Chains A and B, each alone.
Chain A
């Protein structure tokens, strides 16, 4: 019975030998020997008897990998963590870094999953600090309403002592996240249908005027060549084949181009909006009361 009570907490203290490995890795890192430090942290994780030391070692290894611009491997390293038996602060640090590295690696779904874990398993004092980054990840997946809610919760907690700043923050967030400001994304199917009905209008729908004009001119040229060949020059075969060739190439090509341009337009709009949101979030995150 006593063993059952003790085992869940068995991983909470590090043995002196483990700490020696860990410190050795730390000193390599401090000396700027990052490649050696990466291996040393892995060794510290390998020899760790308790999960606490192992977690710390892997988190530090991930930091070192990030310093060497190996973001993918940083994320992979933190995916090896086992959160069982960790205290709240270490679990928060590990999960937050895991979410951060996933975000930096543009793996937004995984990043959001980690933030949800933070919300589920850690007290509000911890999870509150992660909300600005959580909101940034949500922005990238177009979940702007959820991102706004997360930021309001964060603002209420961090600026509670200064009503003026809180009101300013809330007003700015409300204004930036207004539904009317959300990027109006182009419908790819609609762009293709327009391009089928009237060549050039698919590109026009996405806002590319010159592209639309070029396609229209070329499609009309195809028809013109056929008409000229048949009606004027009396070169029936040449007119029809050449005219049809030009028409078909630009008509079908225009449909594909419309879809591509609608996608490009959507990306640009989203990027512009999310960059604006990022600026606002980072600005308020840097305020004195919001150090996290």
Chain B
């Protein structure tokens, strides 16, 4: 079966090679970064030939087909073809890098961040190593490995390109905010950056996020607990919740009323009061404790929302820079 499969693939690849001269694949080229295409098409002088196509030419044509699949959003097909191509020993190191880069990119797109990191890390040389590193750092951020994301960026030398240097600083600023490391954020803010459409709006957003984080003051859990002890649910209202306090009131106050009535009618030593009082006590103490915790929960929600926005604003310029 495997022999048959190999035979068919060879036959298919031969057919692909025969068709080299007749194809113009402009559609795919429009959607990818020029740097990446350059690495694949560096050998463009060899696109025409009279004899049997070389292994490189066959692989190059198949890779061009992959670019078409990606531009047509046929990601499953593209990934399958790339993996198949990857199992062959690829003749050209630039193409090997491109294959790894696109496997990484598709996995990143499908949110398989661990798989994407493995593929991006396999890119060793050529011009796409920069793009791979940026995507790699994004993937590390997604899996909460912020130190690794920082490490990848710090090892990246893009000082010769102002646009990419801006992008690197933006990423590092974002990571600092995600780590709540304001000292590092401030030192990065001191670096002078040129205005660039790739990063400008996100740079401003980072400043806003930093200001929001700095100005955020957590409410006092003591006050929240005390308020809930006086009026059930009021502590949650103080913490910032608007719907749940009434839910707490509807449960605790009627239970309190029932227990009180039981106390008045049956007396403090009655089994009925002990049961209802205990039930009310559980709800009452639970409500007070819940109000204390709600202050921390609200704080966590605040930071989670900001983290989400920061991550989004780190993705967007990378996608913009390496379309």
Contacts and interface: CB of A to CB of B under 8 A. Distances in A.
A44 to B, nearest CB: 9
Contact of A234 (B16, B74, B260, B265): B265
Contacts of A49: 22
Interface in B51-97: 65, 68-69, 74, 76-77, 80-81, 84
B262 interface: yes
A40 B4 CA distance: 15
A35 B80 contact: yes
Nearest to B4: A31
Contacts of A66: none
B226 to A, nearest CB: 26
A210 interface: no
A245 B254 contact: yes
A28 B8 contact: yes
B11 interface: yes
Contacts of B65: 43, 46
B282 interface: no
A27 interface: yes
A138 interface: no
A133 B19 CA distance: 40
B9 interface: yes
B8 A46 contact: no
Contacts of B68: 46
Contacts of B5: 31, 33, 36
A236 B74 CA distance: 69
Given A236-B261, A237-B258, A43 B8 contact: no
B62 to A, nearest CB: 9
A20 interface: yes
Contacts of B11: 24, 27
Interface in A1-46: 17, 20-21, 24-25, 27-28, 31, 33, 35-36, 38-40, 42-43, 46
A24 B257 contact: no
Most buried by B among A73, A236, A238: A238
Contacts, number: 68
A238 B258 contact: yes
B275 interface: no
B159 interface: no
A24 B15 contact: yes
B174 to A, nearest CB: 36
A33 B2 CA distance: 10
A242 interface: yes
A31 B68 CA distance: 26
Nearest to A15: B22
B201 to A, nearest CB: 34
Contacts of B257: 237, 241
A158 B258 CA distance: 78
A33 B4 CA distance: 9
A237 to B, nearest CB: 4
B74 A42 contact: yes
B215 interface: no
B158 interface: no
B155 interface: no
Contacts of B265: 234-235
A47 interface: yes
A241 B258 contact: yes
Interface in A236-255: 236-238, 241-242, 245
Nearest to A25: B12
A49 B24 CA distance: 11
Nearest to B257: A237
B23 interface: yes
A242 B258 contact: yes
A236 B265 CA distance: 11
Contacts of A238: 258, 261-262
Contact of B81 (A39, A234, A236, A242): A39
Contact of B69 (A17, A27, A42): A42
Given A31-B5, A46-B68, A17 B12 contact: no
Nearest to B250: A245
Contact of A235 (B23, B81, B254, B261): B261
A27 B7 CA distance: 11
B18 interface: yes
Given A31-B5, A47-B19, A236-B261, A40 B77 contact: no
B55 to A, nearest CB: 18
Interface string B5-39: 10011011001101100110000000000000000
Contacts of B4: 31, 33
B18 A24 contact: no
B18 A17 contact: yes
Contact of B8 (A17, A33, A47, A242): A33
B8 A24 contact: yes
A39 B80 contact: yes
A73 B76 contact: yes
Most buried by B among A27, A33, A47: A47
A262 to B, nearest CB: 29
A20 B15 contact: yes
What are the 5 tightest A-B residue pairs by CB atom distance, in nearest-first order? A237-B261, A241-B254, A238-B258, A24-B12, A237-B257
11 contacts: A21-B15, A21-B19, A27-B11, A28-B8, A31-B8, A36-B84, A39-B81, A47-B19, A49-B22, A235-B262, A237-B260
